[in-house]
Each structure stands twice: as C-alpha cells, then as structure tokens.
Amino acid sequence: MVGGPLPSEHVVWIALRQKMPQRKGLENRTAGPGFILLGFSDNTNLQGLRFTVFLIIYLMVLIGNGLIVLITVVEPSLHSPMYFFLRNLSFLEICYTSTTLPKMLLAFLTGDDSISFLGCAAQLYFLVLLGSIECLLLAAMAYDRYVAICDPLHYSLIMNGRLCVRLVVASWVAVIPVQVGQTYQVFILPFCASHGLHHFFCDIPPLLELACADTFWNQVMLHTIILVFAVLPFSLIVVSYTQIVRAMLKVPSVLGRRKAFSTCSSHLGVVTLFYGSAMVVYFKQQSRDSADTDKYLALFYTIVTPMLNPVIYSLRNKEVRIALKRLPWRK
C-alpha cells in the first residue's frame, strides 16, 4: 500500500514527538501526520510576487507544450517518429510540472505550506515516475536521431510506427511497478518529530533526512533505480551522439553537416538541461550546507526545463515554426 500510513505509524509518530526535540523554528508548524514544505519559508513577504512568477511559468508550460502536442497531431508533415516522441515528451512535461506547481501556487495564495502524508506520497510517486519515464524517452529520441543520421536508407524501415509505440509503452510499463516499490519503501519509514521538509516539494533525499531509522537500503534502492533509469539511458544517449558526431564528420559539405546538427541540437539542449541539474542533486554527497543549492537545482529540472522545452524546439526547428504559422488557418 503506497497511499497512506499504517495505523501503527501514528503511534510511532506520537511516541517520537514526545521523546525527540523539535528542530529550531518549527515547534508550532508540525502538528499532525504530514509534512511542512519549507522551501519558500525564508521570506513570506514575497509570496505575491512568487505566485505571479510561478503562475506565468505554469501557463507557459501548459500553452507551449500544449501547442507542441496539438501541431504534431493536426499537421501531417509532422507525423514522423521524431515528432511522435516530441509529442509524448511535451505531454510528459505538462504532467511533470502539474505534479508540483499547483500545490506551490496554492501555498502562495493561502500561506498553508503543509502537505498531508497521502498527498506527499502521491506527489513523490508521480514525480519520480514521470522523471524516470522522461529519461527513457530522451534515450529513445536519441536512438531515433542516431538511425536518421547514421542509417538514413533504413530509417523508415527501422523506426516504424509499431516500434515507436512499443518504446513509449515500454517506458511506462517498466517504470510504474519499480516506483511503486520505491515510494512504499520511503513511506513505511518512521519519521522524526519535526516534519519540516526543506524543499519545495516531496522528494526522496529530503524525506530520507527526516527518517528516524537506518536508510541504508533506501539509499541502495534509490541509487540502483537511478543507475537503471537515468544513468543507463544517459549512457545510451552519449553512445548515440558519439556515433552521430562520427557520421557528421564524414559528411563532405559544410551545409550537410549543419543540417545534420540542426536535427539534433534541440534534443541535445533538452538532455543537457534535464540531466545536468538532476544528476548534481542525486549524485553528489548530501549535506546541510548544500540543501539550498539542491532545492533550486530541483526547481530547474522540474519546472524550468519543461518551460524551455517548447521554446527550444520551436525556435530551433523550421518545420515546427512553419506548422505554428499554419495552425490558425486550419479548420
């Protein structure tokens, strides 16, 4: 069961609250089985400004990625494997940001930065689920670019519609049960008297810091899953682009090399933004001094990257720009 605490957990929490001291500054903010998101607790006078900024970001994510989904569906010239994966990536980005941003916006409006145990579990599950699927999807997109540039004569034969659908479905099927297990292992832990989570949303590293139990096996499971669903796909991306660069260097004309690079630059930019910040958060040694850095880097790969995704693809892709111009004239 992933959704909520077992009855015995309430007994553990009550006992821990009676025996363990509260963290400084959190005595009056940790009532009830749940968590307090302290990511924006430094300056409450900026809540109105923060609400405006993050609302604009959320609208940009919804509108930008929504347009990508729309034009790749209605525009016949974009019915290709590359845009099929792009459509799925944009849909994933909308779901990804919707896991965290609505709760943050509500906290800015009401001043209530608490989150229930069940809400935190659900938020964590969908966050790690969608993040893992995005890693696999980016690897599939890299393979698509590899086939298009390194084996163009067999591209339509290899990257057929059936294979594309299978790659996307396999990404979801492979990740769902694993992340159910990981979320369950985190939320069966007993948490300390202070439930102040020094983050903007529920994430595994800050939750493990609050656990009043040995988290060794949780750390092992976390890094194993990262190895399988993040490092391995990233390695496949690196191998694909290594082969792509070798193929590009063999192209005799400068124009040909530039055209080949333009088909990969957008995807490469998204990969760099997403993996660059995420790997720093999950692979460097966790410490109190790095808590602020970690949470802002987490904002980057969960919010900023989805916002920039449609901008990168529309500005760097001539076909997308043409399709966007034709969109208002379509019935």
What's the mean per-residue pLDDT of the chain?
A: 83
What is residue 237's predicted lDDT score, i.e. its pLDDT?
93
Any domain includes 183 = yes
User: Does some domain include residue 329?
Assistant: no
Which range marks the domain in which residue 82 is found?
45-322
222 located within any domain: yes
Residue 77 lies in a domain: yes
Would residue 29 count as lying in a domain? Answer: no
* Residue 111 φ/ψ region, left for φ over 0, alpha for ψ in the -120 to 50 degree band, beta for the rest: left
pLDDT at 14 over 90: no
Over range 141-163, report the average pLDDT: 92
In a domain, 39, yes or no: no
How many residues does the structure list for the chain?
331
Please report where in the chains the tokens 């790690």 appear, as a residue: 128
pLDDT (tens digit per residue) in 97-131: 999 999 999 999 988 899 999 999 999 999 999 99
Report if residue 1 sits inside a domain: no
CB 185 within 8 A of CB 218: yes
CA neighbor of 310 nearest in space, from 101, 102, 80, 83: 83
Q: What digits encode the pLDDT tens for the residues 256-275?
A: 777 777 778 888 888 888 88
Task: Give the C-alpha separation, 3 to 207, whole Å.
Answer: 16
Partners of 116 in the β-ladder: 34
Query: How confident is the model at residue 18, as a pLDDT?
Result: 40
Residue 304: CATH number of its domain: 1.20.1070.10
Distance CA 296, CA 302 (A): 10
**Helical H runs in 99-116?**
101-110
Q: Is 85 exposed, middle or buried (0-12, 13-18, 19+ CB in 10 A)?
A: buried
Domain count, the chain: 1
Inside any domain, residue 20 = no
27-83, pLDDT tens digit by residue? 334 334 789 998 887 767 788 899 999 999 999 999 999 999 999 999 888 899 999
| Sheet containing strand 196-197, strands side by side | 114-116, 34-37, 196-197
Q: pLDDT of 182-214, one tens digit each?
A: 999 999 999 887 788 888 999 998 899 899 999
